Structure 1
Amino acid sequence: MKYLLVVILMITVSCNQGGSFTRTDSGIEIKTEKGELVRLEIISPTIIHVRATIAGQFSANESLVAIRKADKEINYEVEEGEGYISLLTEKLIARTNLETGEVSFFDRDGNLIINEAEGGRTFNSIEVDGVKGYELRQVWKSADDTEGIYGLGQHQAHEMNYKGANEELFQYNTKVSVPFIVSTANYGILWDNYSLSRYGDPRPYGQIDQLVLFDAEGKEGALTATYMNNTDGSDIFTVRREANIDYENLETVNNFPEGFNFNDSRITWEGEFQPREDGIYDFLLYYAGYTKLWIDGELVADRWRTAWNPSVAKIKKELKAGNRYSIKLDWLPDGGVSYIGLKVHTPVDLEERKNISFYSEMGDEINYYFIKGESMDEVIAGYRYITGKAQVMPKWAMGFWQSRERYKTQDELLGALKDLRKNQIPVDVIVMDWFYWEEDSWGSQKFDLERFPDPKAMVDEVHENNAKIMISVWPKYYHTTDNFKQFDEKGWMYRLAVEDSIRDWVGKGYIGSFYDAYNPGARKLFWDQIRENLYSLGVDAWWLDATEPDILSNASVEYRKLLMNPTYLGPSTKYFNAYALMNAKGIYEGQREFDNSKRVFILTRSGFAGMQRYGTVTWSGDIGTVWEDMKAQISAGVNFSMSGLPYWTMDNGGFCVEKRYERAVEGSEDMNEWRELNARWHQFGTFVPLFRTHGQYPFREMYNISPVGHPVYNTMLEYNKLRYRLLPYIYSLAGAVYHKDYTIMRGMAMDYPHDKNVYDINDQYMFGPAFLVCPVYEYKARSRELYLPEGNDWYNFHTGALINGGNKLNADAPLDRIPLFVPEGAIIPFGPELQYAEQASDETVTIVVYTGKDGVFTLYEDEGNNYNYENGAYSTIELNYSEADQKLIIGKREGSFPGMKENRQFRVIFASKERGFAYAPSNLTKGQVFNYNGEELVVSKY
């Protein structure tokens, strides 16, 4: 390959086709015939950074997301063609049309991967607060219409595969938006923009009056809305015609009938609608309370969310123009002011639906990164190359986390920990949720000494009981606190919430606001206040709540933007989605600068591209205690993980509680269901990156959920213990996150991309390479249908039976069992039974080899709670099984770290079709034991 010399890199070449290009020291820049500038820069041989502008020059603003600049040392070629210019690396070809500026990406064999669509790049001028910018959109056509698309963050509508789908990208409690996708065609796109964005259809959902509506009497123009003072419908408050159902925020709820009492009430909307055109209609149901929606006689949604925290359901319907379809929405608001809405996207051409598209409300220019890999893992590694590595989380973080809303006193928190230890329930972290401060002192970062008389002693006692403590820290301050005043005197507080006298829900209601996390000085002050008041006590981990930012829950998006405006960097319209990123940055950098001896741990309710570099885990927010929400966490967690952010968790059991569970009594069906819901959720939660229980009353300690010895208690304890048995496996995956840019919670398409049957499955996933996890999410279900991907045969983890892949299966799922399957070739190291992750033990590590195919697993170890691994203080032992040789090679140990065991024992168990291995603690004592001193050890299958 002939490479260009630097001395000729800045030559500008004009072309007959009307465009010109300039060679730069890291790529090319094109000026199209219409004056648009397009710049392609090489980040790595597999990553091209594309920018486009009509402003005459590129923005000088630094990216908040990307930390990797163009690499001037990479060899590349520039080739001219008829009407185009190509940029070639050793892995990738990026070809740009000189007339239009449209970019196409090919592999080195010339196979098209994806190309910018003709006319798919749009700029619309916008000015906000005197700052000029553009409303932006970029559309691509992919070469493979059958691909699966994943990522986009964490959303709650059960969507796994985003090919042909739409998603609004903004931050909200339970909704986390990350503008990154990864394809089964082994490419990814990182859209570098921080404003409200949309994937797919760039239009906001429209009102239902886009359809021709008919009320219950057949009169055109509206539906019939019936407001009832009671749930049985016998007492009607009023009946009126409504052309829209739009009560989604604090402003639009004012359009409900004046004087209507939402407590114990019911509202229905009924009638018919008539589409104006043929095609697929996308309905978006926004709901809180008990909500049922029928379309054409079919029940398409049956949902519940607590009144103050709505969620969404998506419904696709293929409809015919001119036909009339019945519709009924039946709503029990569930007390207080509640929220409901029904909107629709009218049809888009089917070919257009297949396209990849990002739209953003405001930005300086089109700005994206194209990433190519040989696998989806390599694509995600490319994303992290651009945006930063994820750390190895502390070993204790891989254990069990006990939380509730909330431990109200020092004695409650310590008592819960003591009871966990007394009952020998393994636990590593006890959590101090919000409101440990005095009632009128939110943001003081100080304990209420009446309820917490000695916070330092409390933290010390937690540590003495071999546990860590995480504490909730909000970016919120009451305006009367000294901490607020420290920010405010420097202009670092968002002022509108104070000026509008917005009161929160505590006591009589207090006025406060959030600090501007985009300001580096404000971030430093935020950390300084936390360090002085909380880190000094010995707090181990930070819970950064409401980081959307949720200054006023259920405010409209427009008012939310006003409440956080202006930011240090510019209008909130432009920087709307990146608050959590900036907030975490301050804590991470502050702690590492102050005390680099222990790993930062941050749990945050929101997230954004690049969050992984700041020691963060995101949880799925204040989800509901319903089976529906439990199922939704599967696709939510998997897509979040496939967005490049490897650490995710949820509130096992759900946060917001249905009132029937609060009132449930012993022996009632509600109590039985509450316990089973928690048991099933606990089983599911065992197999996500962070394993934690949290929620509103009833209390969430397993001995409070069910009595000791109860079947529910027993299965929750069993899975707790299994989690700790699996720590060698799980911590090795955490090591791979940093050292190999691995993803722990994986869509099946990552490991089985050639089996298109898995692309749309939204209720199964891989937990590392060895576990296919199939949660049970229906009450009283004792079996569930699942699919075993082709390309492997699969061992039933519980029975040891070997089952053919590529088939559906109705798997047994008794109350004490979540269906788990292990592929041939998997190698799983099991550790001893522990009470906490760092508990010393000389017990043998048991290696179970699931034979039938070659397999490999790397056992990773380090000191567990510091950053020495970044400088090489860690060890790896490669476990390599050869099916042909029928041997396991326990490889030579590579590396070392202080405190490493030089000599140890491994027990080896071979599972096979003839000799199945059924998991049970007693079965882990079988097999042969071998002494290991760090040198290669060969174990023959017996």
Structure 2
Amino acid sequence: MRKIIYLSFICLSIWMISCAPDGYEKTQFGIKAAVDSTEIEVQFFSPEIVRIIKSKQGFNFEKKSLSVIKSPEAQLLKINKTDQLIIVKSDALQLTLDLVSGKIEFADLNGNELLAEKEAGSRFTPFDDAGKAGFTVKQAFALENDEALYGLGQIQNGKLMQRGQTLEMKNSNLNITIPYFYSSKGYALYWDNYAVNTFVDNDEETSFEAIGDCADYYFMYSGIGTKAVAQMRDLTGQAPMMPLWTFGYWQSKERYKTQDELVNVLKEYRKLQVPIDGMIQDWQYWGKDSMWNAMTWKPIEYPNPKVMADQVHGMNGHLMVVAWPGFGPLTKQYKEFESKGMLINFDTWPPNGGVKPYDVYNPEARDIYWDYLNKGVFSIGTDAWWLDSTEPDHINVKESDFVEPTFLGSYQSVSNAFSLEHTKGIYDHQRETTSEKRVYILTRSSFAGQQRNGANSWSGDTGSSWENLGKQIPAAVNFSLSGIPYWNADIGGFFAGRYNKDGGAKNPEYQELYVRWAQFGALTPMMRSHGTDIPREIYQFGKRGDWAFDAIEKMIKLRYRMLPYLYSTAWQVTSNSGSFMYALPLLFPDDKKVADLNDEYVFGQSLLVTPVIKPMYTGKNNDKVFSNFSKTHSRRIYLPAGTEWFDFWTGEKLAGGQEINREAPIDLIPLYVKAGSILPWGPEVQYASEKKWDDLEIRIYPGADGEFTLYEDEGDNYNYEKGAYSTISFKWDDAQQTLSISDRKGEFSGMLSERQFRLVLVNSISGTGLDENTAVRTVTYIGKALSEKL
């Protein structure tokens, strides 16, 4: 009876709209209209963000977004009708709806077109979704030929600009697909759909197509790219603060096989005095594949996992432990999930193990998952999670697999959101369990909104090659541009077996690749060594004094000296929707030379990173591997226009808008700092929290005005959400050559009441490289404003 009443209400609504004098209806958040057999609703979420929903008339459906958590908001809208057009203006943009064709166009307030739907661009083709009536839904747009598009998640195709291609947008080991793009015209679009999508961009159209109940997309007008990222976060949620220690160095491999092996690796790092914070326990600590992911510990190899965690903590390290979404048939979890109909009945990793994934979309199933994980793994003192195979792996694929039921409908209708829901379960439950440890999740997949779950995605099981190293850069910045700030890659690539016949970690060819990958990894949100075939601990590459060892150690030390910069950037991510890795077109939209520059990026506010992605010093001659450092080779670099740049290593000042050749010795990554930058330089430490920041070097790069906010808190709890943190703002007035330091804002337990700032004005003889520099002036700071002319 209820369904009959509801359908009658829908029919009445359609009749009211079609009979309305102007052919449309004003609503609290926008307008509704019926055009031919399509219902169209326009909802404003802010003056700059508008949602478009198109559905077939009379089709009964209910949609609650998995990604979008923002609600529509009433706006001051001006609505006018001229002939067959409805024009809706907010304070930031205008939307035009054609009441004859149903076509929607977006423009700025001056009438300059931003985006238009293609004529007859909305299509609904009936589709039987596992017995449920639905559609294959398509929405097509008409873009300008010279318009650049970025985003779409982490697509490892080596492209920065994502025009002129057809993509199956399906999450997999190496690709993280997010149906979002940003245009060089200053707008972005998010297609809110969780099925496998087809993205098409050609001379005819730009479109998304997937199964679904409706066409549902968000148009966001920012004018500049950094604001577009902020709008996506506004829609889908903010990223919480990660623990301070997670910005240190991580060591992993596939895999440590006993608790003693893992502990001894950390002991060796401490003995060598190479900085490290994180140790990672990979798979099969639970036993055979039939016991896959049992969340228990093999009694011989791991006789007391709590002692293992305690030993790691005793050496000022932290422990990350892997967990998977699939369970072997002999595990307690498998049996419980099976009895409650909470398994998705297809094969996942490992092959021939009978392993099935649990229904991550079911809140009760997520409760059960955490209960086992908490008792078996978190209780021993685990600090962070490695959630592997979160696409998830799908093997022995059958067509029937895709119509398997989940709590939210067929698997095919929600498959791309698997990682989002899985990480949500861990994040929510750990937050409920304790506030003393911030949730930190390493995950192989992602989806729009996953940043709110404390997740850092990695780029999957990459092959160890120079080509794959190069692909990481555009993949990372497009992923970040899609709204998710935390990303990393296996340093050295995952599959490295091709180098084993020539010595593995002692193979000069692999050593050069690994060193260059480590240089890139040091300038990403997480610096993590991992892979199979070849062990990756620093001492596997030689000893101190050997070129590979020394080059790796140099990058680890660089990472630790940058901790104040990294942690303050993390605060900008959390509090101001900032990013760690910026595609150059977002920051330099007027410089056409960076529009498709795929091998450089900006890290944080200030650093231009130009990784070396080709071999320079090693190779093969008659199948014999060699290294040759008799000549220093160079890398071609473009310095974006509109600012001056300082060479980080030499202090040389260079004009933007030019190409240069920069020498790239094996132990150096070309790195440039934007004029006007203020860079806090931390102490040399063995782990992130070893020393307080009571004697920071503050590097000032003159040539433009600049500012920087130093952020500090207790390091690893959620008291910052209650206001337990402090910020200190630094401002550089270039004309007056004066640095102003603000009053400290906020406080927290253990906060420094007095400290030294050593002020360094960067030039060719001061403020360069890793080492501490002679200060122009040292000031004592007690939380009160200071001004120093340098």
Which TM-score band applies after superposition, normalised by the shorter structure? over 0.9
State the 1:462 CA deviation.
0.6
After superposition, the Cα gap between the structure-2 partners of 1:831 and 1:24, relative to the gap in structure 1 and judged at 3 Å, is same
Per the alignment, in what secondary structure is the counterpart of residue 250 of structure 2? Answer: strand
After superposition, the Cα gap between the structure-2 partners of 1:51 and 1:807, relative to the gap in structure 1 and judged at 3 Å, is same
- Say whether the 8 Å CA contact 2:22–2:81 is kept in structure 1: no
- The partner residue of 2:49 within 47, 61, 65 is 47
1:675 and 2:511 equivalent?
yes
State the 1:12 CA deviation.
6.2
Alignment RMSD, CA only?
A: 2.1
For residues 909 and 165 of structure 1, the distance between their equivalents in structure 2, rounded to whole angstroms, comes to 49
After superposition, the Cα gap between the structure-2 partners of 1:650 and 1:911, relative to the gap in structure 1 and judged at 3 Å, is same
For residues 809 and 58 of structure 1, the distance between their equivalents in structure 2, rounded to whole angstroms, comes to 61
Residue number in structure 1 paired with 2:312: 462
State the 1:557 CA deviation.
7.9
For residues 20 and 760 of structure 1, the distance between their equivalents in structure 2, rounded to whole angstroms, comes to 44
Residue number in structure 2 paired with 1:22: 25
State the 1:598 CA deviation.
2.0
1:481 and 2:336 equivalent?
no
Per the alignment, in what secondary structure is the counterpart of residue 138 of structure 2? Answer: strand
Residue number in structure 2 paired with 1:132: 133
Q: Which runs of 5+ in 2 are unaligned?
A: 1-12, 618-632
State the 1:801 CA deviation.
0.9
- Say whether the 8 Å CA contact 1:197–1:359 is kept in structure 2: yes
Residue number in structure 1 paired with 2:168: 168
State the 1:119 CA deviation.
1.6
Counting only pairs closer than 5 Å after superposition, residues 816-827 of structure 1 correspond to structure 2 as 816-827=667-678
- Say whether the 8 Å CA contact 1:15–1:83 is kept in structure 2: no
One-letter identity of the residue aligned with 1:30? A
Residue number in structure 2 paired with 1:735: 571
Residue number in structure 1 paired with 2:472: 633
For residues 10 and 929 of structure 1, the distance between their equivalents in structure 2, rounded to whole angstroms, comes to 72
- Say whether the 8 Å CA contact 1:19–1:31 is kept in structure 2: no
Residue number in structure 2 paired with 1:367: 216
Residue number in structure 1 paired with 2:7: none
One-letter identity of the residue aligned with 2:29? S
Counting only pairs closer than 5 Å after superposition, residues 303-318 of structure 1 correspond to structure 2 as none
State the 1:917 CA deviation.
4.0
- Say whether the 8 Å CA contact 1:58–1:365 is kept in structure 2: no
State the 1:453 CA deviation.
0.9
1:612 and 2:451 equivalent?
yes
- The partner residue of 1:876 within 713, 727, 735 is 727
- Say whether the 8 Å CA contact 2:253–2:531 is kept in structure 1: yes
1:844 and 2:691 equivalent?
no
Deviations 1:739-760 (A, max 9, x none): 0000111101111111111011
1:491 and 2:341 equivalent?
yes
For residues 782 and 90 of structure 2, the distance between their equivalents in structure 1, rounded to whole angstroms, comes to 45
- Say whether the 8 Å CA contact 1:10–1:22 is kept in structure 2: no
State the 1:75 CA deviation.
2.5
Per the alignment, in what secondary structure is the counterpart of residue 156 of structure 1? Answer: coil
Counting only pairs closer than 5 Å after superposition, residues 798-837 of structure 1 correspond to structure 2 as 798-837=649-688
Per the alignment, in what secondary structure is the counterpart of residue 125 of structure 1? Answer: strand
One-letter identity of the residue aligned with 2:605? P
Residue number in structure 1 paired with 2:103: 102
State the 1:163 CA deviation.
2.8
After superposition, the Cα gap between the structure-2 partners of 1:428 and 1:628, relative to the gap in structure 1 and judged at 3 Å, is same
Per the alignment, in what secondary structure is the counterpart of residue 924 of structure 1? Answer: coil
Per the alignment, in what secondary structure is the counterpart of residue 760 of structure 1? Answer: coil
For residues 519 and 873 of structure 1, the distance between their equivalents in structure 2, rounded to whole angstroms, comes to 35
1:591 and 2:430 equivalent?
yes
- The partner residue of 1:392 within 241, 244, 248 is 241
Residue number in structure 2 paired with 1:205: none
Deviations 1:167-206 (A, max 9, x none): 32101111111111122322111110011112225xxxxx
Deviations 1:765-820 (A, max 9, x none): 11012111111111126311121111112111111111121111121101011111
One-letter identity of the residue aligned with 2:431? R
State the 1:369 CA deviation.
0.6
For residues 192 and 937 of structure 1, the distance between their equivalents in structure 2, rounded to whole angstroms, comes to 49
For residues 597 and 86 of structure 1, the distance between their equivalents in structure 2, rounded to whole angstroms, comes to 52
Give the stretch that moved more between structures: 453-462 or 930-939. 930-939
Deviations 1:297-336 (A, max 9, x none): xxxxxxxxxxxxxxxxxxxxxxxxxxxxxxxxxxxxxxxx
1:550 and 2:389 equivalent?
no
One-letter identity of the residue aligned with 1:43? F
Per the alignment, in what secondary structure is the counterpart of residue 389 of structure 1? Answer: coil
1:919 and 2:765 equivalent?
no
For residues 437 and 368 of structure 2, the distance between their equivalents in structure 1, rounded to whole angstroms, comes to 21
1:414 and 2:263 equivalent?
yes
Give the stretch that moved more between structures: 863-872 or 572-581. 863-872
After superposition, the Cα gap between the structure-2 partners of 1:882 and 1:573, relative to the gap in structure 1 and judged at 3 Å, is same
Counting only pairs closer than 5 Å after superposition, residues 25-104 of structure 1 correspond to structure 2 as 25-32=28-35, 34-57=36-59, 59-72=61-74, 74-104=75-105
Per the alignment, in what secondary structure is the counterpart of residue 737 of structure 1? Answer: helix
Give the stretch that moved more between structures: 780-789 or 40-49. 780-789
For residues 364 and 10 of structure 1, the distance between their equivalents in structure 2, rounded to whole angstroms, comes to 17
Residue number in structure 1 paired with 2:740: 889
After superposition, the Cα gap between the structure-2 partners of 1:834 and 1:11, relative to the gap in structure 1 and judged at 3 Å, is farther
For residues 544 and 261 of structure 2, the distance between their equivalents in structure 1, rounded to whole angstroms, comes to 20
Task: Quote the sequence identity (%).
Answer: 38
Counting only pairs closer than 5 Å after superposition, residues 156-305 of structure 1 correspond to structure 2 as 156-201=156-201
After superposition, the Cα gap between the structure-2 partners of 1:791 and 1:386, relative to the gap in structure 1 and judged at 3 Å, is same
Residue number in structure 1 paired with 2:296: 446
- Say whether the 8 Å CA contact 1:546–1:605 is kept in structure 2: yes
- Say whether the 8 Å CA contact 1:797–1:917 is kept in structure 2: no
One-letter identity of the residue aligned with 1:544? L
1:665 and 2:666 equivalent?
no
For residues 145 and 774 of structure 2, the distance between their equivalents in structure 1, rounded to whole angstroms, comes to 50
- Say whether the 8 Å CA contact 1:801–1:916 is kept in structure 2: no
Residue number in structure 2 paired with 1:655: 494
After superposition, the Cα gap between the structure-2 partners of 1:97 and 1:711, relative to the gap in structure 1 and judged at 3 Å, is same
1:434 and 2:296 equivalent?
no
Per the alignment, in what secondary structure is the counterpart of residue 836 of structure 1? Answer: coil
Deviations 1:104-139 (A, max 9, x none): 112222222111111221111111211111112212
Residue number in structure 2 paired with 1:903: 754
State the 1:677 CA deviation.
0.9
Residue number in structure 2 paired with 1:526: 369
Residue number in structure 2 paired with 1:603: 442
1:624 and 2:441 equivalent?
no
Per the alignment, in what secondary structure is the counterpart of residue 578 of structure 1? Answer: helix
- The partner residue of 1:795 within 635, 642, 646 is 646
Q: Which runs of 5+ in 1 are unaligned?
A: 1-8, 202-347
Residue number in structure 2 paired with 1:206: none
One-letter identity of the residue aligned with 2:697? T
One-letter identity of the residue aligned with 1:831? G
Residue number in structure 2 paired with 1:758: 594
State the 1:19 CA deviation.
7.4
For residues 378 and 840 of structure 1, the distance between their equivalents in structure 2, rounded to whole angstroms, comes to 36
For residues 41 and 842 of structure 1, the distance between their equivalents in structure 2, rounded to whole angstroms, comes to 48
For residues 38 and 597 of structure 1, the distance between their equivalents in structure 2, rounded to whole angstroms, comes to 47
- Say whether the 8 Å CA contact 1:117–1:141 is kept in structure 2: yes
- Say whether the 8 Å CA contact 1:196–1:573 is kept in structure 2: yes
TM-score by length of 2: 0.93
Residue number in structure 1 paired with 2:402: 561
